[in-house]
Structure formats: C-alpha cells, structure tokens
Structure 1
C-alpha cells in the first residue's frame, strides 16, 4: 500500500467520473442506482466442528428478489471471501418474478478489490420489473470477528464453539451475496441449520423448529419470522448451546449467555433493566417498540463493545453480564449505559437509518447521548446523566483540540472504501456527537427536541434519511411551539457539524466583551483543514451572575459586547452552566480570582459539574474515594499501601477459591500486588485470568497483569497478544495499550508494535486489532524529539503495509507529540521550580 498522500490521491482518482468507472462500474466502490433489493431468502448451515483440513466452514443458499429502477445489462452485488457454486459456468442463477423475462447471463466473476460478484447479461433488465438472483456458496467460519464467525470458550473442561455474527459495517457480504449498503433496505427471511442440542437465534422470532437429516447428519432446522425492512448491516445470526432468562410483558425479553453464567444469575441485572429502558424509549420517542421480541446475547469474542442488530443485540460478555458478588459498581454502570445505547438504536438507527456512512456521528452520537437518559431512568439514584461530561465531553475535547481532527460529518464521496467507513467510528463521532446533541437539546429544550424526534421517526419509519431531515423536523417543532431562535436549527448546527474543532469563549467582565476563537492544543499549528465557516460557531451561552441564572444569550460572531456581563465589587460571572455547551471558557484574571474565592467560601452555590467534581455522592462515592486513595497511595510508592495490597493478594493466593478482596478494590489491589511482586504473583494472576468465568473479573486481571515491573514478564505478556489461544483477538490491542500505560512497559510495547506491525496488520486484520486505539494508546504520553522521530520513521517504514483504521490516529499522534514537546519546553522549568519551592 502506498503512502497516505498517495492513498488519498488514489481514492480521489477512483471517485472521479472517469471513462473507466463509467465503462467498468465494478471498479467503483459504490453500487450503481439501477437495482434495489426487496427481500432475501437465506439458508445457512454453520459447522461447529472442523473438517478434515481443520477448517470450520458454513454453507449457504441465498435468493434475493430485486427491482430494476433503470434499464441495465449489469448486476453488481457485494460478495467477499465466499466460494460460489457454478451453475452452467456461471456463479449465479437469474430468474424473473411475475411477467418479466430474465436475460441470460453472458459472464460472471468476482471483483475482489471492490468486493463484488459481477454478472454481465446478454440483454437488459427492464425498469419496473422484478427479478430473483440465486447463489450457493461456502464460507469459512473463521475466528476473525467479522461476518459470520466462530467464538470459542471452555466450560466444564470442554471446548465449545459459538457461531455468531458481526455484519456492521460492511461484513454482511462476507456471509452471503447482498446489496451491502445501508440505504438498500430489504426484508430478510432466515433459516438456520444447526447441530441438534444447539439453539439458533436471529433478528426475528423463531416460527418453526424441526429435526431433520442433512447430508446424512442429524440436525435441527430453525426458521424465523421475516424481519422488518432493514439494512444488511443489522442482520444477526447465532448458533450456540446457550440458555436464557426471560421476561414477557408487552415485549418478550430474553437475555442469552453461557449456561453457567445464566445459572449463576449473571443475566438477571440486564433482564431487570431492559424492560424499563425499552419503556423509557417508547415514551421518549412516543413510538412503540416495533418488534415482537428483544433478544440480547453475550458472546466470548466480539470486536465492538456491543452491536445494535435489530431484535438480537450482541455484546461482549463483560458489557452484558453482571455478577453482584464479583463485579464492581463501575461494571454495573457500564452494563446499564451500554444496554441503553443499543436499545436507543432500535428506533434511531434501525427504524430510521441514515443513507450513508458519512453521517455515522448522528447515529452513534445520538445513541451515546440518550443512553445516559435511559440509564438514568432505570437507575434514578445514580445521577448518571452528569457522567456525560467526564465520559464524553472531555474525551471529545482531547481529540477535537488537535489540528488533525475532522468534522462530524463528511462529504458522501469522501467515505467510500471499507477502511474509510471503519475510521468513522471514533471519538469524534461518538463523544463529540453526543456532546453536540446534548447542547442542541439544551438550547431547544427537551420537550421541543423530542417533539421533533417523534415526527422524524414517524415520517421516515422503515426508510433512510440524511442529517438535514432531522434538522428540518426539529425546526418544525420550533415553529409549532413558537420558540424564538436567532437562526434556523440547520444554520445553528452546520458550523458544529461541518467544521472540526470547537471554540474557547473568552469573557471580559470589565468591558463586557465576549469573543470566540478556535481552540487548539498547539495554538501555533500551521495545519488546519479549510473550514466553510472560518472557524466560527453559533454559540449558545447559558450563564449565571453571582448566584442568579441569567437569560441565555448567543455569540454569533467572533466578538460581541453585553453590558450584563460587566461586574462590580465581588460579583462573578460563570458561563456554560453544567457544561451543556460544547466549548471551553476563559475569563479575565479578576473574574477567575472571584470564582476561586467563591469556591473557597461556599462552593455549593456553583453547580457541581462546573466545579469539575469527578466523584458523585449518588455512586457511593465515599467508597469510588477509598478506591482512589488506595490507587494513589500504592502508585506513588506508599509502603503501607503496597504491603496491605500484597497481604490481601497473598491471602487470595493461599485460598484461590475464596477471593475476599472487595470487587470495587480488586483492580487496584491486583495491579499493586503484581507490580510489587514477582513471577509467582504474576503467574497466579495469569492462572486466575485463564480460569475466570466472569468477563468483568477477567478484564480486571487482564489489565492488572500489565502492571508488572519485571520486563521479562511484560515481554512474555506482549508475546501472548499474537497467540489467540492465550489472549483473545478482541483483547489483543487492549493488552498492548495496558502495558504501554505502565512506565516500565511503555518502550517495550512501542518496540513490540514497531517490530510486529506488518504481521499484525496483514495477518490479523480489521476484526482483531483496533489499530486506532492501539496507536493512540501507546503514543499518548510521547513528548520527546526521539519519540517524534520514531513515530515519523514508523509512518515512513510501514507506508507500503498501511495503517487501516489507524491512519488518522497516527497523524494525530504525530501532531500531539509535537504539541507535547512544545508544552514541555515552555513549562518544564517553571513547574519544576514551583515544585522544588514547595518541597523545600
């Protein structure tokens, strides 16, 4: 693969309406506008045992009925890594539906680069007529976490296989030939053939289960009700020997997991909150849940945290299962918010789907925002809505302050190749998207926001939209309620969506001047994308003067004056109440001092979020302080703390089946004991990790094993990441980042990645390593010229290999390292002098 500049140039060439792309449309990555699917009839048979060559396979048959919109003698349908059966020398059969006459196939072949099955016809399909394309195929049920794949686990000493799926965003084509673009909605009629004694699940409810004999083997055939019209990326398939816990009120709710996990009650919490969260969203959207059932399943190996497949949501085990005996409060909060995120998609994203991946942010940002509302409804005592500031707003600030950030929304023609699509699922889309939508809901007010949502969802149900459709419906709600805004919703939002970054709003309480400026981590950076809005935003300012909340004002230009912002005596001004606005705030020195004095004298008059308090009483935080105190004391080398954690850990080593360490303290205790211990402590932790049956406990041990000081142990642990029998592929990048976060392992991890990058990138691929998080996680502390040079060499040396979804992360790492170098050079001496003076 060429350098980044060459790649960008290549993409540009491919997207131009060249003679070649007109004459050979199979070389374009986008489907032509000639055919649309109506429904699929698909039968799949996953083999849960290897064949004579050690391969796990699945076989399948697919009938897709499609409508011809424009006359054409060409059928392009996505197909990737499938071995298609030949019929009379062709890779498919074409027949007509109704009165149409099907043309004969002239030629068919696989176009691997653009992932098409190409079928050239001897005559043209007629506009308005319906046709059926039939294919048979064999695919590998690989362990690559993409398409229809296998996940393995051990239970009661027996190795077990789960056939599961991840179609999002472009992997349905790896399972069956399909029109694999989100706007190509269709009805899916699914039949699964599977081993007797296993259970099959899909998006629809099972309508028939029959024992049969296929190829001389006893099997069960399960047929499912047809799905609603939906995008191919939302299809879900699972075959396992799992069991479930069930709740049936208006909607059948089932939580599926390994039999032991269900027996031990680890699915109960998810079951208990799913009903309330579904009810919340039904009321919030004012639209009934559109399906007959809601299945949620926990699988051992999964690339994402979870996936919102319509009617069958698939999760990593740690995100769905909760054990009150061993899981921490943080695990419980994670389960609640992730379930709320996925269920929010049942309407926003599934019922109404965006037309193309250039507006991923609206889908994921929206679900991220309202997940806090759904979790808050299910657990009202937690005050979970406040966590969006820590988990999303500040997380987005860190990335969006880089000159190499990107706008929320891209041009459709700029997001074409599968790797480009995957890159859209980043911090900007999720966290900035959530932050900007929270701001929008705040200045519209929530009743107007949900009124617009309701008409949007009901108008476009079972259809596809663009972001502007939502703005139009919100604008209609604004007009209907008589609300006054300085601009239309679209005009307010466009600068936030179509240009990267965010402003810092500066308030001078002496003059009343308010101004905005693009906030950059490196204010002298010479590289910025061209902006259609010249890096100005329409900024909603909610504020208070001393203790009185003031009417909202708007900053619609670079600078303005407001006499109410002027202060006298001990008055102070506080802007961006509860941080509902996606911007930073600066004040004149005098106002900063008055705010500090107020915090010292009576901090409670200032809203809790504005005090930047991380802890919250609703989360038993007197106890999330015991954790913090122990973590800080041990990490800074307080001997008494290290002795205490070592004693607790030793007690567990002496009685491995009686872990008396409190769940909230385990991560800290494990890390400290392994850091101060040796090979014996590490080996015990590794053994407990391998034997852990609860995903949240395994995660605690997995991260804690990276705390070791012994570099031989860390080297061993790094090596395990390339062996799926030791570290699951879904966890490999996390382990490397954990080791890089350890000062004793940072250089080891960086050296390891540089040495093994070609192997990791080519052999593991998209479903295994999260390359973006890997690069950003390893390089986040880089701050020296040597590290910058190594980054640049890494980029240059691997330009032919490529960086996939890590391409942007690498550019951001280089930029952030340069900014860190500059900050250190400007501030290191002053900070060192300050510390020395106070330690004297």
Structure 2
C-alpha cells in the first residue's frame, strides 16, 4: 500500500493522458525556452479540474477542448507538490476525451536537470553550448506541464523549434523539417510508443555523429560535440554488436527504428536510458584513440550495455512507481555484465562484478541504516536517495543469485514472458515473481520477497557437524550483538551453492537452523557459497579457515572463492565475529596472487584499515606492510604494458602500482617521478593504463609548484578522461595548503559542476585531506546545496565523501550537529549512514585498534616463508 506521503505527492487517477503534442523552442542565446503542449486525456470520473505536474514554469494560456467547443481554464499553482490545477467553467464528464492546451515558458538552467545547458569547446578553442534534457526521476515537469509519474504512459509527438544551424535529436527519427517563425527551423519527430514522461528527451546543438546499421535495419549513431565523433567508434561498435544479442536474449526485437547514443559534456549521472536516445557522460561513451586505459574501455562497454538493457527492462516495461526502481536498475546492473561478458569473454566480467559491484552492495547493506530494495518513497527527494548501491548492485546480485539457482535458460524464458506480458505497460516486483514462478515451477515470490522487502542479508554460521545457522549480518559489532541477543525474526530463504570437487548443487535453506544435505559419497562440502554467488556471508570454523588458507597458498582455491574468503574474513572481523587481526595475519598468503579481482578486494579493505589507523600510534608500520604484500605481485606484472596483456592484467598493474606508490615504496616513487617528467615533456609517452597511478604517486609528495603544474595540465587536457585522472591527482596531495587549493579549484569555472563532487569527495577520502574537505564543505554549504539539491544523487555522494572517514565519537556528534542545523532533504539517509559509519570506525578502533597494531608490529607478519605460490 502507498504511504500517506506518497499519496500526497501522487496525482489523482481520475484523469489519464493518452497523447502529447509538444513543441519546445529553446533559445541558446538567451538561455530561455518557450513551448506549447496539447494533451489528449481520458476522463474516468466527472471533474471540474485537471491536476498535473509543473515546476518553475510560467503558464501563459490554458484551454480545454471537447468536441468542437473550447473553454478557458483557470490556472492555480501548487509549488509544494509541484502541481498545476486547471479548473474549468463546466463539468467534464466521465468517459469523455478532452484536449488540454497550454502555452508556457521557462529558464534553461545549469542544474543538470530538466532542460539545461551544457558547454563545450570547439576544436579551435572557442566556446560552444548545447541544450539537453534529463527528466529522470521527476524533472520532465521542469520542461513542460505533464503527468510526470511512470504509470501515466502516453505517446508523444515532439517538435523542436531551433536555430537552422543546429541538430535536434529526440526519441524518434525526424519525420519532417520546415521553416518556422523568426527564421527558425521546426523539426517534427515521429510519434513515440507509449512510454513514461521521464524517458522523453530532446538535445539541440551543433552535433556530429558516427553511425552504422544493424542487420535488422536499426540505425545506430553516436553523437558528440564537434571534433569528437571518432572517439565514439568503440561505443558504436559495442552497440551494433549488442543490439542483435539483446533482441535474441529477450525474444523481443528492439521496437524503435533507431538508437542514438549522445555524449553530453555536462551530465549529473553516468548515463540515462531515454527510449531510443541514450545519453552519457563523455567518459562513459568516448574513447580518445590511443589515450584510453583498460579501465575506461571497460566502463564504456558496461555503461553502453546498461542503458541498452533498459530499452526493454525499464522502457518497454516500466515500474509502476519509484519504490520498484530496482526493477529497472538492478536488472540493468545484472544484464550489463551478462552482455559485456558475451561480447568480451576474455575480460571475465562476472569476476569483476564480484569485486567492483557486489562487494559495494554487501558493504552498504551491512548498515543498520540501509534500506530494503522495495522501499516506500513519496516526495522527489526520497526518490533521488534510492539511486544507490542497494537498487543497483544488490538488485543485480539478487538477480544473478536467482538465475543461478533456477537455471540460466529457465530464468531467460521467464524474463522473456514477463516482458511480453507487460510490454508498453507498467509492472511491479510481484508481477515479475509471478511470471518467473510460472516459468520455473517454483514459488519464486515466497523465496524472493524476504530479500527485496527486508533490508540486510544473513551470515551463515557453519559447524563441524554439518549444521548451519543463519543470523542477520551487520557491519557494526554493536548491531551484530544486539541482533544476537534480541533477534528481530528475519529469516531469509537462503540460496546456497554447495560445492564438492567438481560437483555443484544449489540448495535452499528455509529455516534459521538446518542440517546440510549429504555430500557425494566419500566427499565433503568444500564451500557453501561456491564462486561467491550468494548475497550473504559465511562464517566457517577455525579448522575450515585454516584449510582455506592452505588451499590459497597451494593454488587449489578458485579465484572467485579466493576473493570471497578475503571479503568475508575482513567483514566478519570488523563485525566482531572474528578478530580483525586475523585478516591482517592472513593477507601474506595472497602475496603471489596474480588476479585483479582478488587484489581489488584486498586493496579496498587495506584502504579502510588505513583510514581507521591513520595518525595513531604504530601507523608508520602500515605502509611497509602494504608494500611487502604487493611487491612480488607487481614484479610479476611489470611496468611495461604489452599488447598481449589480458584485460585484468592491465587493471591489476595499475592497481598495484598505485598501491606501492601511495604507500611509499621508494623505487616506485622514483620511477613515477621519472615517468611524470617525461610525460610533461612528451604527453603521449606515458601509457594510459599507468597515468592515474603515476600522477597520484607524484602528487602525494608534491609542493605548491607541482600543484600548479597539475592544475595547468587539467585545464588544458583535451579529453575528459585525462582531466579526471589529473583531478584525482590534485586530490592526492598531502600538504594542507595544496589540498585547500585543490578544493578551491574544484568549485572554480575551470571544473564542470558534475566533476566538483568527485574532486571534493576524493580529498575527503584522503586521510591527509579529510579535515580540509569537511571544513571546506561547511564553508561552502550554501553553494553545494544550491548546485546539487535540485536533483540527482550527487548530494548524498558529496555528504559521504566529506564526512564518513572520521573515526571518533566527537566527530560523529559534530557531523550530527552540523546537519541538524543545515538540513538536506535530498541526503537524509546518507547523513544517517555517515553517522553510523563514523560510529563503526570509532568502535572498531577502540576495541580492536591495539590488536591490529600488535599484529602489524609482529616480526612474523612480513616473513616471506610460508607465502608460496598461489
């Protein structure tokens, strides 16, 4: 049932739109726009008025047409609920069709929401501008009056009135163009399929493209600002190869005649799935030839695939309301990996998913201030808050877990049946479970609702007798103990993946405690979560943990299980279920590890421990320990990038180089200095895979003169990818004066407002910069609120970036006091999560800090014997 606040913010259901004829006329010189819209609506109950959404619009005229008669409408605004009330002088009867006509105007803003401007440079260095739209979640109402909720699907005919020199792009191909008033050009687009307002799109500006066509005749084009079309060839090729694969996987051909992928210089999110016209940050779509790293190539492929998956799961079938956002984002987060794994199997994307995605979901969902996947949302600020790792990567992880449990082909058939049943309509999570249940012959709803309606996940505790027990898991030891002594009754139907040698068997644990099924004759179960497939943690007894360490040293443990063991061991130690020092003492068995995903997991946890122990007694022993761990693995990877290197080897080299450089390895630092000086002389001399690590290493010991060099390089860099590397370096300085300069640079006109959040957050994540970032955020609070509270999820990322690294109760109270007096409606949950995270750090430091320092000082920790090949 909808919450009372949700009911307040949702529109009445007695009138529904059927079709919009929309004309938008953006003026790129004055940064204003005007427009008209005719909305054909169906009336289901007698009414005197029509209630629809509008925000920051001036309404000049409103009329209603019924048959041949028309009448004026009185216009009343309701800013609190972002509505217009149009009241007529007659009764509009049920079962009638009415056409509402409105003319309006507004400002083209720079808040990266609604209809907004984006600036760029032409190849000759002169300034250029385009206008574009971003309507998800509730910003179509900023561009035109509409029923701005996902369940009010309608068809749209868009007309753009533009400068004749410009290109206009929308969801459908242009049907015709003709001269409009005042020397402008009218571009009329074909009528869209039935869809939600948040998927409508318009971009206008001086654009160029690189295009192609699928065998089915679908035109695929990548559009860029002038001079960059060639950088879109990789994305175009990915889209051309994936579109037939998606057609085949879903069993439903892509239903539009074209697919545009548009690089937008200023863009709040990573990308957006507008139906037929997918929009992206430049770094998520463009690859500068010869200047892109393996990391950027992976990002482009993944984000292209993500938005393409939405064309079916989200656009063709749309959630009924935002509390089912995960149906869109969780599915696309799973499908992006499946699609790219099909395209580039040598990348081993499912392994990368474990390290870069599922681990993030497990981390966030271990907080007591997490939220369920299906979460009631009412006002627009609450909607923005759930665009997080729960909706995306926990959702994707659960879909992967379910697919593995029921079988890939059965799951595929169920997904296809779901899409066919609800095509061009709206659906709910319950609808998905119902169709998957029919396809699998299992009660999917009873299995999955515990996972989507409860926040959190369990830890499975296994003993020597074959008994297994589940308990809710929390990152925080106090929450973990509270759950043990005062259980909340949560029981998950846990999908275990039991392995014994080559045998693998899914098995459902339905109770709190149960006996495992018998293993194959003469064998034992080696793993309860084979290939780290399930979204839960496993606490094995000491004997099994010892055997696991021995297997890692002997090289008999598969890579995903090596990652899973590391990930669980750290998290269980932090939660107080094991000594956290055991994690440190285990890490040397990974010294010979040669797989990126395992090192990515280890590096993330070493970063957490560094933040925990920073500036405390004994912290000076931490850097040598990290260098000891990583030296041998980097020696094997080597400095030179070879054409024959695998994708993951390229990622691994960069990660280890960064670790050694940032933790003070003298040889690495010296070599990085040499490489950087050569890069300054010859910009193409340094391989893109090495640049980020080299830049950050050099910056970490830099002075104000070097800081100015990095600022100059960032200003003049010719690609956003290179700018982002240099921004990261500017956040890696350690001198307070340099970091203050970085923060000032981040809010200067030299940096796009979409990139400010990342820079400031990276300074906050730098243990030498956390105080500077927190102070700077408070000093510039009004600026940040004005920039980012209007929409998107940048605000919550910024809040976390500048405050969650603290490790004392005094700082927790300081953060709480500040946000109590400076409320942020768009980041309430993020602020609660920050306070819980600070409390967690303070608790772990107080209770386990000494044992961690003791482990670091042990002469046995860095002995090389016993660290044999994995």
**Structure 1 residues without counterparts, runs of 5 or longer:** 1-10, 17-27, 51-55, 87-91, 480-484
Please tell me whether residue 401 in structure 1 is matched to residue 366 in structure 2.
yes
Check conservation: 1:572, 1:595, Cα contact below 8 A. no
Q: Does the residue aligned with 1:603 lie in a helix, a strand or coil?
A: coil
Q: What is aligned with 2:613? A: none
Deviation at 1:206, TM superposition (A): 1.0
Please tell me whether residue 37 in structure 1 is matched to residue 22 in structure 2.
no
Shift of the 695–605 alpha-carbon distance from structure 1 to 2, 3 Å rule, reads closer
Correspondent of 1:835 among 831, 856, 863? 856
Q: Does the residue aligned with 1:108 lie in a helix, a strand or coil?
A: strand
Q: What is aligned with 2:518? A: 564
Q: Does the residue aligned with 1:61 lie in a helix, a strand or coil?
A: strand
Q: What is aligned with 1:333? A: 298
Q: What is aligned with 2:42? A: 67
Please tell me whether residue 770 in structure 1 is matched to residue 751 in structure 2.
no
User: Which one is further off, 227-236 or 810-819?
Assistant: 810-819
Alpha-carbon distance between aligned partners in 2 of 1:808 and 1:454, rounded to the nearest angstrom:
35
Q: What is aligned with 2:824? A: 803
Q: What is aligned with 1:576? A: 529
Check conservation: 1:771, 1:805, Cα contact below 8 A. yes
Alpha-carbon distance between aligned partners in 2 of 1:554 and 1:574, rounded to the nearest angstrom:
15
Deviation at 1:566, TM superposition (A): 11
Q: What is aligned with 2:596? A: 615
Shift of the 594–283 alpha-carbon distance from structure 1 to 2, 3 Å rule, reads same
Q: What is aligned with 1:160? A: 128
Check conservation: 2:497, 2:528, Cα contact below 8 A. yes
Check conservation: 1:307, 1:342, Cα contact below 8 A. yes
Alpha-carbon distance between aligned partners in 2 of 1:209 and 1:102, rounded to the nearest angstrom:
30
Shift of the 43–532 alpha-carbon distance from structure 1 to 2, 3 Å rule, reads farther
Question: TM-score under structure 1 normalisation?
Answer: 0.89
Shift of the 81–790 alpha-carbon distance from structure 1 to 2, 3 Å rule, reads same
Check conservation: 1:102, 1:125, Cα contact below 8 A. no
Check conservation: 1:48, 1:161, Cα contact below 8 A. yes
Shift of the 822–141 alpha-carbon distance from structure 1 to 2, 3 Å rule, reads same
Deviation at 1:700, TM superposition (A): 0.9
Q: What is aligned with 2:259? A: 294
Q: What is aligned with 2:583? A: none
Alpha-carbon distance between aligned partners in 2 of 1:157 and 1:623, rounded to the nearest angstrom:
34
Correspondent of 1:93 among 63, 66, 69? 63
Q: Does the residue aligned with 2:859 lie in a helix, a strand or coil?
A: helix
Deviation at 1:13, TM superposition (A): 6.7
Following superposition of structure 1 onto structure 2, how do residues 596-745 of structure 1 map, counting pairs within 5 Å?
Answer: 596-604=549-557, 610=564, 615=596, 619-655=646-682, 658-723=683-748, 725-745=749-769
Deviation at 1:512, TM superposition (A): 1.1
Alpha-carbon distance between aligned partners in 2 of 1:605 and 1:304, rounded to the nearest angstrom:
36
Please tell me whether residue 119 in structure 1 is matched to residue 81 in structure 2.
no
Shift of the 605–104 alpha-carbon distance from structure 1 to 2, 3 Å rule, reads closer
Alpha-carbon distance between aligned partners in 1 of 2:330 and 2:85, rounded to the nearest angstrom:
36
Q: Does the residue aligned with 1:113 lie in a helix, a strand or coil?
A: helix
Shift of the 588–566 alpha-carbon distance from structure 1 to 2, 3 Å rule, reads farther
Per-residue CA shift, 1:778-809, capped at 9, x if unaligned?
333221122212212222221xxx21321101
Correspondent of 1:825 among 823, 846, 853? 846
Correspondent of 2:271 among 306, 318, 327? 306
Q: What is aligned with 2:227? A: 260
Alpha-carbon distance between aligned partners in 2 of 1:567 and 1:380, rounded to the nearest angstrom:
35
TM superposition outliers: structure 1 runs of 4+ over 6 Å: 565-568
Deviation at 1:590, TM superposition (A): 1.4
Correspondent of 2:490 among 512, 535, 555? 535
Deviation at 1:458, TM superposition (A): 0.9
Following superposition of structure 1 onto structure 2, how do residues 400-439 of structure 1 map, counting pairs within 5 Å?
Answer: 400-410=365-375, 414-439=376-401
Q: Does the residue aligned with 1:564 lie in a helix, a strand or coil?
A: coil
Q: What is aligned with 1:475? A: 437
Check conservation: 2:5, 2:379, Cα contact below 8 A. no
Q: What is aligned with 2:628? A: none
Q: What is aligned with 1:247? A: 212
Q: Does the residue aligned with 1:574 lie in a helix, a strand or coil?
A: coil
Alpha-carbon distance between aligned partners in 2 of 1:695 and 1:816, rounded to the nearest angstrom:
32
Per-residue CA shift, 1:307-359, capped at 9, x if unaligned?
00000001000000012411100100000011100000000110011110011
Per-residue CA shift, 1:197-229, capped at 9, x if unaligned?
11100000011122x2523xx222211111111
Q: What is aligned with 1:595? A: 548
Alpha-carbon distance between aligned partners in 2 of 1:36 and 1:136, rounded to the nearest angstrom:
20
Alpha-carbon distance between aligned partners in 1 of 2:741 and 2:829, rounded to the nearest angstrom:
30
Shift of the 808–610 alpha-carbon distance from structure 1 to 2, 3 Å rule, reads closer
Q: What is aligned with 2:27? A: 47
Alpha-carbon distance between aligned partners in 2 of 1:527 and 1:121, rounded to the nearest angstrom:
59
Check conservation: 1:675, 1:709, Cα contact below 8 A. yes
Deviation at 1:527, TM superposition (A): 8.4
- How many aligned positions are there? 780
Alpha-carbon distance between aligned partners in 1 of 2:684 and 2:453, rounded to the nearest angstrom:
52
Taking only aligned residues, the RMSD between alpha carbons, in angstroms, comes to 2.3
Shift of the 709–565 alpha-carbon distance from structure 1 to 2, 3 Å rule, reads same
Alpha-carbon distance between aligned partners in 1 of 2:273 and 2:721, rounded to the nearest angstrom:
21
Q: What is aligned with 1:204? A: 172
Correspondent of 2:503 among 538, 549, 558? 549
Alpha-carbon distance between aligned partners in 1 of 2:6 and 2:232, rounded to the nearest angstrom:
48
Check conservation: 1:572, 1:591, Cα contact below 8 A. no
Deviation at 1:651, TM superposition (A): 2.1
Alpha-carbon distance between aligned partners in 2 of 1:393 and 1:665, rounded to the nearest angstrom:
26
Shift of the 566–587 alpha-carbon distance from structure 1 to 2, 3 Å rule, reads farther
Alpha-carbon distance between aligned partners in 1 of 2:317 and 2:14, rounded to the nearest angstrom:
23
User: Which one is further off, 784-793 or 823-832?
Assistant: 784-793
Check conservation: 1:401, 1:519, Cα contact below 8 A. yes
Deviation at 1:533, TM superposition (A): 8.3
Q: What is aligned with 1:505? A: 460
